[in-house]
Structure 1
């Protein structure tokens, strides 16, 4: 396609295409995590035959150990990716820095080959292959103990890869497509809803469970195609309607300075590159500028993961005599309600951005989410020592809706504010730091949920 033809394309199309691509990247970045969360009933059923040899049977509780197995490697990979990509990991081995380097394809603006983006491509291929292996294991007879270790190892490897993938994609979007960052966050929220709806259809239709785990393989292929398209699309199309710099629409495209630095770095004088590295590398300076937004995002996800899904998935319906409703209650009231309202909260940031990044109401709103923890614990949770104060399916769904919409709204708001607090050249580093603190929040929340279950649960091995 010629440049003249590209420049003659209607403005709505130029704006829509990058939004769709970045939305799909957001979906693909968190789909592995969501599919393993939502498939908890399948894994717990496979492990139910294991005679418990530990106190309370907690040693083989999928719901208890999965968040830890998923989030700890996610933190390690995100930290390495943040250090290496921001240029602050000079003390790390050179091979590791090259491996975890920038996720942006090296091709200047033209065609993007697989060899130009090995980091993102390899992680997507690995994730797809492991999901295919998980689908194969559905029909393999295996001792529950061995199945537990194989599953946990698969989750560790997938989430280690996913940490690199999320950090790389977040950094690229923050650097080059800042005005479309909200679509990346919306895509991440949509991934959970997609996984929950697929599970509901699977339950109601009775299709083989292999089909559930094959879908992430297809999504990974689509995500990879969109990533390669991102490298081939002209950057001017993604910056023409920039929210932060509307005056540059007809002049030099916003972000062209960063692209010039990326594509012509080999031609830049040595001292100029040294100065740019010093300016861009100061990860500590970038962190200080966005530290509050990073802390808010971490706090949001600590509260969320402390009860979801480990505790909320154990809430039982009060209508146990209704077998059909009992079968889909967890999927509908816990998983679909959470993911749908989380997505709604993320979409709401397109139209409303309150509180502002300077407002004192922002930390108050983040801190107030802690009230959801006791409210959800006091619902009709299975085998809990705490009394079930709220024995109502409607109340549980209502609290889950508020819990989820506040998670999506506040997380997206803080993620969108962070790149606005730094210079254009530091937007990628800011995106990586925010991604790191997001997974830190997920991990700390998973530890809290582990502690809650140890303290409050009478039987850790019970399943639905």
Structure 2
């Protein structure tokens, strides 16, 4: 058992518990976005007017109405994420982090539960659409507060834990993609499949909350969470990576002031990383999924493959390679945070926009990369670079500030991450018209 004095001198060893919890916390933050995005087919089918739910004064049982679910879902997901992430950048100064995180997780659990219950409730399309859009707005509002708060917490740990957190976020996409594939291949009745689909994030959210409450009770986590009270540490060289040692040395020299810097002062130190993470996600969301879901297989005569092509080659390939990219910085980090090549690598991802638009997109007039293999290769590089560069941005940013400002830096980086998502989602409307 580590006594208080020894705890202040030598970091305890993480035997994997904290790493696993950080990974699970990352997974929990992106469940809302991924599960609503991949359930597009379910929501669009519920919103189709059928003879059963047409009002008595309707003139035709075949009346249909285009609710444009996907566009509204993207808009009403990114707006609250942007607004509440910005609010959280200041909220952390007045509301304790534990209250923000626990309250947000409970709210997300209740909203997922409501969505699961509505699977069995027959509703008019207009009513169902309004309830669903309200749910999406509120669940992403709480998700923004949760994500910003947890990024701030993770920023208190060594840089490799930011990479683990980002990897967990990547796994959320894989969960949703596999759930969608199971739904497509399942022989179960549609409402039963949908109910199981939405129960999954309910259980996962409860598990995430349990992991968060367990975190402060682990010696390794408690050491870093309490560093703001005691920063005098003696480091055992064999317990820390070279990156961690540099970080701790920097912290020893920087702890002259016991007060946190202002948000503006922190931003001035991390503005380049903030710009880079915004660019990474703006490029990604401008074509994924609005363009990528429209890419078709050249083997249309193969009914089974044609049925799962989009799920496998778009969602699963993207999320798997994104997770690989998010995990890669734990093996090696290049370019370094001070290298001029880093922003060059970020902005070079613009090349993926025309590359994906030139794939076998439905109704496209110009197709150069028609084969399925070409699309998979481009998607793999596209998603890997997204995860890798985003993970580097989030782990580099806290290294530019004092230890006491790491939470502020993490929260600000989350805001710019969401800003990139919002910019990309907005730009996707234009690209969708151009293809």
Task: Determine if the TM-score, normalized by the shorter chain, exceeds 0.5.
Answer: yes
- Counterpart-to-counterpart distance in 2, 1:22 and 1:60: 38
Partner of 1:228: 213
Q: Once the 2 structures are TM-superposed, how far is the Cα of residue 431 of structure 1 from its aligned partner?
A: 0.5
CA deviation after TM superposition for structure 1 residue 123, in Å: 1.1
Q: Does 1:81 align with 2:88?
A: yes
* Cα deviation, residue 201, structure 1: 2.0
Counterpart position of 2:284: 304
Question: SS in structure 2 opposite 1:14?
Answer: coil
Q: 2:402 matched to which residue of 1?
A: 423
1:401-455 deviation digits (Å, cap 9, x = unpaired): 11000000000011111111111111111101111100000001010012222x3
Q: How does 1:121-160 map to 2 (within 5 A)?
A: 121-160=102-141
Corresponding residue SS for 1:353: coil
Alignment of 1:173-252 (within 5 A): 173-176=154-157, 178-207=159-188, 208-235=193-220, 241-243=239-241, 244-246=243-245
Q: Deviation of residue 48 (structure 1)?
A: 4.0
- Quick check: 1:176–1:235 contact (8 Å CA) kept in 2? no
User: Is the CA contact 2:247–2:399 (under 8 Å) kept in the aligned structure 1?
Assistant: no
Matched residues in 1 for 2:129 and 2:357: separation? 27
Q: 1:390 pairs with 339, 345, 369, which one?
A: 369
Would you say how many aligned residue pairs link Structure 1 and Structure 2?
399
Deviation at 1:13, TM superposition (A): 6.8
1:442 aligns with 2:421: yes
Point out 4+ residue stretches in structure 1 off by more than 6 angstroms. none
Q: Is the 8 A contact 2:48 2:65 kept in 1?
A: no
CA distance in 2, matches of 1:82, 1:352: 30
Aligned CA RMSD, in angstroms, stands at 2.8
SS of match in other structure, 2:155: helix
* 1:327 to 2:312 alignment: no
Q: Deviations over 1:27-66 (max 9, x none)?
A: 1011111111111222223334489xxxxx9962222221
Instruction: Give the distance between the partners of 2:240 and 2:310, measured in 1 at CA.
Output: 41
Structure 2 unaligned regions, length at least 5: 55-63, 225-234
The residue that corresponds to 1:337 in the other structure is 317
Give the 3 Å change call, closer, same or farther, for CA 238–352 of structure 1 in structure 2: farther
For 1:110-129, list aligned pairs within 5 A. 117-129=98-110
TM-score normalised per structure 2: 0.85
Aligned CA distance change for structure 1 residues 288 and 146 (closer, same or farther; 3 Å): same
Match of 2:17 in 1: 17
The structure-2 alpha-carbon separation of the partners of 1:202 and 1:310, relative to structure 1 and needing over 3 Å to count, comes to: same
Q: Helix, strand or coil for the counterpart of 1:379? A: coil
Q: Which moved more, 1:170-179 or 1:237-246?
A: 237-246
For 2:247 and 2:298, the matched residues in 1 are separated by: 58
Identify the residue that residue 298 of structure 2 maps to in structure 1. 318
SS in 2 for 1:387: coil
State which drifts further: 372-381 or 230-239.
Answer: 230-239
**Further displaced range: 169-178 or 441-450:** 169-178
Question: 1:65: which partner in 2?
Answer: 72
CA deviation profile, 1:272-329 (whole Å, cap 9, x unmatched): 9xx744xx14111110111000100000000000111122112222222222112111
Paired with 1:58 and 1:354, the residues of 2 have a C-alpha distance of 50
Cα distance in 2 for residues equivalent to 1:123 and 1:443: 21
